[in-house]
A and B are shown apart, each in its own frame.
Chain A
Amino acid sequence: MYAVKLVRGYLASLAGLVGIAYGVSYLHGQSFAQTLPIFVGNPALFHMLIVAPSEELVFRFFIPLLLMVLFGLNYLVGGIIAGVAFGFAHWWAYGQNQTALSIAILAGIWQAVVVYLYSNKEESFSFKPGLLAVILGHGTYNVLVSTAPDLTLTAGAIAGLALGASYAFRREIES
């Protein structure tokens, strides 16, 4: 069950991020290429092992937990507030581009929802495997847009189809 949730969470995270980036860019009449993140050193290592874990641990783990402890909030509420903060934290990195800012806010909220949906919460709330899934999804998205932006839409569509297929396949087995 852990592996299934991890893969589904990863696919949901990647497909959602690509969908939000393309959808908001389209609505604002801007090119997707104008919303790319900063690039330092080796893109794969930098984005997968430095940027994604760092940002996700701060905005999907530390800040929601802080809100839960201080105000007794549910993870989902704390995660959505942290998701908005995640968007505003990108204000300078994206050169105050309002389209990129909108994408970052929606992406932050989406990632919090993915953590909540794909984490075990039967007896106690566990960040497993939702938090790791969004780290991998965020890292993959950043690597794609910084190394092969033309393939991003295709990768997002494949992730979305694979996620849908995983649910359809499961329903078939159960029936």
Chain B
Amino acid sequence: MEEVEHPYDAYLFASLGVIIFLFNMLNYLYEQNFRDLLVFVIYAISQIMALVFGAILIQAYNSRGD
């Protein structure tokens, strides 16, 4: 296997999750439900970081030997 391709389908699906997170975050802030908000924030941050750093790692993997 020479190269790794970006999983754009998974990126799109995960970005839906980020939108849901933003709306839920507003709702939890309004309700002052900080426990659920914290769980959402942890999941959302890990999701965004995995997306961004995963995409960077694909670039790094594909540029080996250049």
Contact = CB atoms under 8 A, between A and B. Distances in A.
Interface of A: 38, 40-41, 45, 49-51, 53-54, 56-58, 61-62, 65-66, 68-69, 74-75, 120-121, 123-129, 131-132, 135
A40 B43 CA distance: 12
Q: Which of B10, B40, B50, B61 has the most CB of A within 10 A?
A: B10
B13 A54 contact: no
Give the interface SS of chain B, mostly helix, strand, loop or mixed.
helix
Contacts, number: 106
Contacts of B39: 38, 40
B6 to A, nearest CB: 8
B20 to A, nearest CB: 5
A61 B54 contact: yes
Mostly, the A contact residues are: helix
26 contacts: A38-B39, A40-B39, A40-B40, A41-B24, A41-B28, A45-B20, A49-B20, A50-B44, A50-B47, A51-B43, A53-B10, A53-B17, A54-B46, A54-B50, A58-B46, A62-B54, A65-B57, A68-B57, A121-B1, A124-B1, A124-B3, A128-B8, A128-B9, A128-B10, A131-B10, A135-B10
Contacts of B57: 62, 65-66, 68-69
A144 B60 CA distance: 38
Contact size range, B: 20 to 34
A54 B47 contact: yes
Contacts of A61: 7, 10, 50, 54
